[in-house]
Amino acid sequence: MALSPRRRMLLGFAAANLTIAAVAIALLLLRPAPPPHIQGVLLEQPRALPDFELVDQWGERFDNSDLRGEWHLLSYGFTTCPDICPTTLSQLTSVAERLPADQKRELRFVFYSVDHRRDTPAQLASYLAFFDREFIGLTHREGNDDRHLPFERGLGMTYTLSPDPAASDGPPFPDYQVAHGVTLYLINPAGELQAIFKPDNPSSTQPGFDPDTVLRDYLAIRNHLG
């Protein structure tokens, strides 16, 4: 039976609407998921780190290649820090304990010392043993041609030594003070900076990190990136 012009027009409108709806659904499905809201900054375009050379707590060379293949969560400070550093490391120990079993070997924890004069590899090894023997400790040796600086600058670390031991012509000042920022850096398996985690109370005299928040944000980033 032949369709009337009106019926053909209605069928045409229906087909067009179905096509538009199908295209809209496809676009929604293909649209990338929005980035997760984290307590810090997620870099959708991760930042490559310039070439650097450090030494770990066992006296072994540590460079860019050692960051590849696994995720790393890094804090920084110094081993004689009386409050913030041990608190942060204790909180990271709690994060490590809360990790799902299938991800415990996919995330490594790193502590970088900004006080290499006092924090020798042996000192780092002894210090980190109080928290978790699996943690990686990093420092650098005197006279390394500043090959540690690209690492610090690439991550955006902030710290001061006062008075500056390097400014002395004689022996280093034995009583210089160290002040540093409080930040966690998440490095992806390509060795790139992927996210920066901020403390819960940055304006406090002793800012810290809630282990549940850190773990939630890390897992959200992993899920977002696939």
85 is in an annotated binding site: yes
Mean pLDDT of 96-108: 92
* Residue 165 pLDDT: 80
Among 4-8, 64-68, 138-142, top mean pLDDT goes to 64-68
* Residue 28 pLDDT: 45
Q: pLDDT averaged over the chain? A: 88
Q: What is the rounded distance in angstroms from the CA atom of residue 224 to the CA atom of residue 37?
A: 11
Reported as a single tens digit per residue, the pLDDT across 22-32 is: 554 544 445 56
Reported as a single tens digit per residue, the pLDDT across 149-179 is: 999 999 999 999 988 887 766 566 568 899 9
Q: What is the rounded distance in angstroms from the CA atom of residue 138 to the CA atom of residue 122?
A: 11
Closest by Cα among 158, 96, 88 to 127: 88
To the nearest 10 degrees (0 to 180), the angle between helices 211-225 and 84-98 is: 50
Output the CA–CA distances (angstroms, integers) from residue 98 to 38, 76, 126, 178, 218, in the order listed.
Answer: 18, 21, 24, 31, 12
Mean pLDDT of 108-136: 97
Torsion angle, CA of 115/121/122/126, rounded to 10 degrees?
Answer: 70
Closest by Cα among 203, 94, 118 to 127: 118
Q: Where are the domains of the chain?
A: 1-31, 40-225
Reported as a single tens digit per residue, the pLDDT across 126-152 is: 999 999 999 999 999 887 789 999 999
> For residue 168, what are its two tokens?
């002395």
Q: What are the backbone dihedrals phi and psi of residue 100, each rounded to the nearest 5 degrees, phi first?
A: -55, 145
Mean pLDDT of 94-111: 94
Give the percent of the chain with pLDDT over 90: 69
Question: Residue 140: helix, strand or coil by DSSP?
Answer: coil
How far is Cα of residue 44 from the mean position of the Cα atoms in its chain? 13
**Domain 40-225, CATH number (from 3.30.465.10, 3.90.1150.10, 3.40.30.10, 3.30.70.1400):** 3.40.30.10
37 is in an annotated binding site: no
Reported as a single tens digit per residue, the pLDDT across 41-58 is: 999 999 999 999 999 999
* Residue 20 pLDDT: 56
* Residue 27 pLDDT: 44
Output the CA–CA distances (angstroms, integers) from residue 70 to 103, 109, 169, in the order listed.
Answer: 10, 10, 42
| Residue labelled with tokens 């809360």 | 98
Residue 204 confidence class, pLDDT cut points 50, 70, 90: confident
The DSSP secondary-structure symbol of 117 reads T
* Residue 85 pLDDT: 97
Mean pLDDT of 63-86: 97
